């Protein structure tokens, strides 16, 4: 038997989630955000299932080329644009759209003396202060872009810092609306959270990542109440069982001490598989479909689960680390992080399988 850690990928759930987003955004077009190997789901497997989307977005030329080689013919957006001038010819060759967020990128595009068009998304920094031009710089940058005939069509873009929490988008939306007023270009503003919650942000292109993969973008709303279904189920098995007497301790640091006689399952999954080492005692986990908890410290290849209340569980029992029956958000919260990080962290050695 091979090591029993797998990421089951439910492409039907992915298509379902896409249709849920579609319902929310009406006639706006959907850019499926597939950076970081499709949030860890495996680009090759999910690209097929995303044929209903209108575009894909990635963070690097390599991912864009991979998508083209997989047969993706619709637009591809490079979310950080080009990093160096040599990349521009690949943008032409592979028909890529690019974000422009910095003057240096405009200089490169001017120096490239384009003879074919490149669609551009000019990024406005409306308050997140990560990428983009602030108010006056935005006007200047837009004028420069307009003066390069081959940069066409132009789309206006911004990104929200708090669409997923109580602060919402109103402050940034006001700034964006002022800035974009009377500019005759389509817009792209919304991430998953804004797409699901704020119709006013939709514009022509929404950019959906996490919701596609079936996790809730909101801390206060479960994915199932949004009708989203988990796409990745991280699966393993129990490979050993230990019986501890009261007072005996567990794993590295011996940080968990049995307060009564306990049955402990050893699961073949650890931080080298992408399971968070910060998942502390109490983190939820499913064994044979029943909820129990992680105990002690997660090791590189293994972790401990409490089987004291699960007498039927033993070597070979199925373990679900997250996914069907256990939202990844819950595990993320117990580990002090967000679903995005756990999904993206799926290790190469955890092979994907179609569910
Ligand atoms: C990653 C990313 C998104 C997708 O965000 P989700 O919260 O996963 O929907 C959208 N826009 C930009 C610019 C991004 O970098």
Per-residue pLDDT tens listing for the chain (355 residues): 689 999 999 999 999 999 999 999 999 999 999 999 999 999 999 999 999 999 999 999 999 999 999 999 999 999 999 999 999 999 999 999 999 999 999 999 999 999 999 999 999 999 999 999 999 999 999 999 999 999 999 999 999 999 999 999 999 999 999 999 999 999 999 999 999 999 999 999 999 999 999 999 999 999 999 999 999 999 999 999 999 999 999 999 999 999 999 999 999 999 999 999 999 999 999 999 999 999 999 999 999 999 999 999 999 999 999 999 999 999 999 999 999 999 999 999 999 999 8
Pick the catalytic residue from 123, 252, 275, 348: 252
Q: Is 185 a catalytic residue?
A: no
| Strands of 148-230, DSSP E | 151-157, 187-188, 205-208
Ligand 1 atom at minimal distance to the Cα of residue 39? 8
Ligand 1 atom at minimal distance to the Cα of residue 79? 13
Three-state SS for 68? helix
Residue with tokens 């206060």: 220
Most ligand 1 atoms within 8 A of CB, residue of 35, 163, 191 to mutate: 191
What is the number of helices (H) and of strands (E) in the chain?
Answer: 11, 18
Beta bridge partners of residue 354, listed in sequence order: 9
What is the predicted pLDDT for the residue at 186? Answer: 98
What is the predicted pLDDT for the residue at 283? Answer: 98
**Cβ 79 under 6 angstroms from ligand 1:** yes
What is the predicted pLDDT for the residue at 355? Answer: 87
What is the predicted pLDDT for the residue at 1? Answer: 63
* Closest by Cα among 26, 10, 14, 355 to 211: 14
Q: Is 103 a catalytic residue?
A: no
CA count, 13 A, side-chain hemisphere, 139: 6
pTM tops 0.95: yes
What is the predicted pLDDT for the residue at 239? Answer: 98
Measured in Å, residue 31 CA sits from the centre of ligand 1 at 10
**Cβ 195 under 6 angstroms from ligand 1:** no
Residue with tokens 């306990």: 262
CA distance 166 to 193: 11
Strand 76-78, strand 284-287: pairing: unpaired
Most ligand 1 atoms within 8 A of CB, residue of 33, 196, 213 to mutate: 33
Burial of 291 (0-12, 13-18, 19+ CB in 10 A): middle
Residue with tokens 């990024």: 123
State both tokens at 57.
């977005």
* Closest by Cα among 22, 93, 96 to 54: 22
Measured in Å, residue 191 CA sits from the centre of ligand 1 at 5
What is the predicted pLDDT for the residue at 302? Answer: 98
Pick the catalytic residue from 35, 39, 198, 275: 35
Nearest CA to ligand 1 atom 8: 209
């Amino acid at each position: 038997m091979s090591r029993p850690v797998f990421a089951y990928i439910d492409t039907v759930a992915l298509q379902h989630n896409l249709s849920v987003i579609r319902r929310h955004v009406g006639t706006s077009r959907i850019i499926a955000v597939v950076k970081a190997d499709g949030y860890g789901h495996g680009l090759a497997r999910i690209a097929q299932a995303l044929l209903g989307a209108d575009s894909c977005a990635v963070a690097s030329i390599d991912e864009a080329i991979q998508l083209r080689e997989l047969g993706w013919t619709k637009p591809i957006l490079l979310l950080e644009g080009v990093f160096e001038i040599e990349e521009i010819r690949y943008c032409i060759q592979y028909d890529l759209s690019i974000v422009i967020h910095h003057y240096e990128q405009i200089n490169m595009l001017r120096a490239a003396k384009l003879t074919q068009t490149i669609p551009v998304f000019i990024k406005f920094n409306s308050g997140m202060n990560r990428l983009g031009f602030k108010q006056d710089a935005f006007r200047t940058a837009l004028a420069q872009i307009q003066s390069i005939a081959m940069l066409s069509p132009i789309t206006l873009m911004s990104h929200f810092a708090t669409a997923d929490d109580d602060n919402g988008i109103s402050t940034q939306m006001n700034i964006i609306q002022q800035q974009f007023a009377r500019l005759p270009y389509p817009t792209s503003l919304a991430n998953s959270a804004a797409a699901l919650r704020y119709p006013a942000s939709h514009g022509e292109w929404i950019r959906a990542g996490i919701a596609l993969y079936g996790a809730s973008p909101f801390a206060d709303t479960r994915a199932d109440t949004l009708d989203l279904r988990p796409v990745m189920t991280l699966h393993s098995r129990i490979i050993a069982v230990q019986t501890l007497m009261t007072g005996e301790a567990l794993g590295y640091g011996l940080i968990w001490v049995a307060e009564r006689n306990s049955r402990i399952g050893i699961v073949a999954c650890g931080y080298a598989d992408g399971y968070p080492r910060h998942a502390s005692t109490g983190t939820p986990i499913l064994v044979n479909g029943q909820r129990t908890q992680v105990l002690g410290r997660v090791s590189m290849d293994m972790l401990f689960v409490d089987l004291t209340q699960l007498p039927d569980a033993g070597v070979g029992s199925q373990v679900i680390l997250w996914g069907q029956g256990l939202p990844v958000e819950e595990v993320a919260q117990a580990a002090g992080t967000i679903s995005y990080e756990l999904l993206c962290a799926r290790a190469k050695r955890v092979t994907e399988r179609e569910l």
